[in-house]
Chain A
Amino acid sequence: MTSGRTAPWHQPNWDARAAGNFIFGGAGTGLIVFAALAHAFGAAYRLPAVIGFALVAAGLACVWAEIGRPLRAFNVYLHPQTSWMTREAMVAPFLFASGAAAIWTGSEALVWAAAALALVYLTCQAQMIRASKGIPAWRHRLIVPLVMLTGLTEGGSVAVLVAAATRDYAWLTWLEALLLALVIARGFAWYAYRSGLQREGAPVKALAALARIEVPFVILGNWGPVVLLFVALAETSGATAFWLGVVSAATGLVAGWLFKFTLITRAAYNQGFALPRLAVRGAGTPGPATKPGWH
């Protein structure tokens, strides 16, 4: 080779700071949704909600730290017609305002409004990844349910941890049951996404990066908590169920963050270059297609 990379290489523009937006934003919005659900069962809303909003704010701070021209950050609001980044930014102030009002007043309507906006925010994040057409591992349609389920699972995990820490046991069983359902759904969403990616084609290195988290994310971080949560829900001893719930929540949370960190900073190989035909040279014949670095 004398010049230029032809096989896909890792995108250099979004790093751990961008991953932080999806990690904290997903966990935060998931927690806000879970805080509303738990509130419906009579649990305290304020603490989990405050933690949820703090996580979303941390995610936005990560984005702000990532952009090249932070003093122009408000220009992000100029393109709601098609940009999911603009939409995410537009939802944020309404999310924070409704959350602050819900925490301040305790109004049921505002609690549910904040939860609905959190879901919209999470949808924007998932769609933002999917709209990145230059990254095959991101643009797959099944990335949307996977990222959303991951965010909700993380939120549920933090909710379990908060409930455990505050000894707010009344709704712990309900929480664990909901978390179990979400973790199972996340596992199936992962398999659907990965098999879809393999079937439809992706850069070899992107698939390899995803394969490397099969054990920590899927086996230990997803099916591990499923088993623990099953046991916790079946267990009659309060202490055992408590600790199993805590361990499964912590594991599921870390696994979700590992997945998103990998997706953004390890599996984000670009499209590379391809030729459907090699040109005729001189009196020769045209050559076959070439697409280096693809599965």
Chain B
Amino acid sequence: MTRWAMAVDLRRCIGCQTCTTACRQANATPPGVQWRQVLDMEAGEYPDVRRAFVPVGCMHCGDPPCEHVCPTTATKKRDDGLVTIDYELCIGCGYCAVACPYQARHIVHRATFAYGEKPTEPEQVRYDPERISVATKCTFCKERIDGAKEKGLTPGVDPEATPACVNACITETLVFGDRDDPNSKVSKLLAETRHFRMHEELGTDPGMYYIWDRKEQP
């Protein structure tokens, strides 16, 4: 089996937002919609204050609440772990958005553009009316993953078959690969580090792993 997953090495992220920008460029999301965003979190009290940069987005859960509640089957979980949305089935009821504990889903009801009412030429070319009034979210750049086999490429290794945010990350904070393959880069990294998954207590089996320290040597 394959379970596409992402590791986020929180020790490395510097909050540069290059992943956010790359995602927006690759997926042509409208202003205000960021499928991959980086949170800037502060914790603690003076003088012991910490700061963390935390990339978030759809966690491609193993047991996705969005998929359970979706009344139309527009949201589906594939066998390889990707959670997808069929824009032609979605009715934009927003139930998936309130069911997602990661605030990963976005619904826009009117077309918006970077500079006012009129789209720029690139925006005009990439504008997709099917995405209006339906739920959208990070896809892990599934077109790249789906095209990998045909091209003889490996997602997470070959940039052409890897999510845009991972390719763009300048600090190698984001690592993508097959969690079920013990030899994948993501599995090896997780084997040698200590990590958690966000809101794991909700039983969603998220597919994003946050690394916070190396494993202690025996």
Contacts and interface: CB of A to CB of B under 8 A. Distances in A.
A280 B68 CA distance: 36
A79 B70 contact: yes
Interface string A64-99: 001111101101111100111110010000000000
A68 B92 contact: yes
Nearest to A85: B71
Nearest to A271: B101
Contacts of B68: 82-83, 131
Interface in A1-26: 1-6, 11, 13-14, 18
Contact of A280 (B67, B73, B198, B212): B212
Give the most central of B70, B71, B100, B212: most A CB within 10 Å: B71
B41 A292 contact: yes
Given A11-B97, A68-B92, A131-B99, A3 B40 contact: yes
B78 to A, nearest CB: 16
Contacts of B65: 131, 133-134
B99 A1 contact: no
B35 to A, nearest CB: 13
Contacts of A178: none
B22 to A, nearest CB: 15
B214 to A, nearest CB: 8
- Looking at chain A's contact residues, the main secondary structure is loop
Contacts of A268: 98
A42 B56 CA distance: 61
Contact of A290 (B41, B97, B133, B214): B41
Given A69-B91, A72-B91, A133-B101, A13 B107 contact: yes
A133 B11 contact: no
Given A83-B70, A132-B98, A134-B103, A73 B91 contact: yes
A287 B100 contact: no
Contacts of A72: 72, 89-91
Given A72-B91, A83-B69, A138 B101 contact: no
Contacts of A133: 65, 99-101, 202, 204
Contacts of A131: 65, 68-69, 99
Contacts, number: 182
Contacts of A281: 11
B42 A1 contact: yes
Given A2-B40, A133-B101, A66 B93 contact: yes
A274 to B, nearest CB: 7
A192 interface: no
B208 to A, nearest CB: 12
Interface residues of A, number: 54
Interface in B3-24: 9-11, 15, 17
Contacts of A14: 94, 98
B210 interface: yes
A4 B40 contact: yes
A286 interface: yes
Contacts of A68: 90-94, 107, 109, 132-134
A257 B91 CA distance: 27
Contacts of B89: 72, 75, 78
B211 interface: yes
Interface in B191-215: 194, 196, 198-199, 202, 204, 210-214
Interface in A79-125: 79, 82-86, 89
Contact of A67 (B42, B93, B198): B93
B100 to A, nearest CB: 5
Interface string B26-47: 0000000000011111111000
Contact of A274 (B10, B69, B91, B198): B198
B56 A275 contact: no
Closest 4 CB pairs of A and B: A68-B92, A68-B133, A13-B94, A279-B10
Interface of A: 1-6, 11, 13-14, 18, 63, 66-70, 72-73, 75-79, 82-86, 89, 128, 131-135, 138, 268, 270-281, 286-288, 290, 292
13 contacts: A1-B40, A3-B39, A4-B40, A11-B97, A13-B94, A63-B93, A83-B69, A271-B103, A273-B102, A279-B9, A280-B214, A287-B50, A288-B44
